[in-house]
Amino acid sequence: MVNLNIKLYTMNLVKKITSYLLIFLVVLFTTVALLGIWEIIPLEKIMIKMISSLVVVFASAAVVLFIFSVLIKDSDHQQNS
């Protein structure tokens, strides 16, 4: 029972950290985009880097979600039965 509580706490902690990281990235990219729209900073190369970074972050998040939802739940299910 204690082991299950530790796993749930760890999974919730990872989900919270990932959520806050994605929120921070969205706010950061929105700020940069707004500064570019108002021509405070040039956006020629920044937008390509921002979009590439978002693709990498979301792909990584999808892989982590897959690992947690499929692999870890399967191992927990097999241990409980």
Tokens 């806050």 sit at which residue?
A: 20
- Phi, psi (deg, nearest 5) at residue 6: -65, -40
More confident residue, 1 or 43: 43
What are the structure tokens assigned to 45, written together? 């190369």
pTM for the predicted model, two decimal places:
0.58
Q: Strand, helix or coil at 43?
A: coil
Q: What does the pLDDT look like over 6-29, one tens digit per residue?
A: 777 787 888 888 888 888 988 888
pLDDT of residue 74: 57
Dihedral class, residue 41 (left if φ above 0, else alpha if ψ from -120 to 50, else beta)? beta
47 confidence band (pLDDT: 50, 70, 90): confident
> For residues 36 and 49, is the Cβ–Cβ distance under 8 A?
no
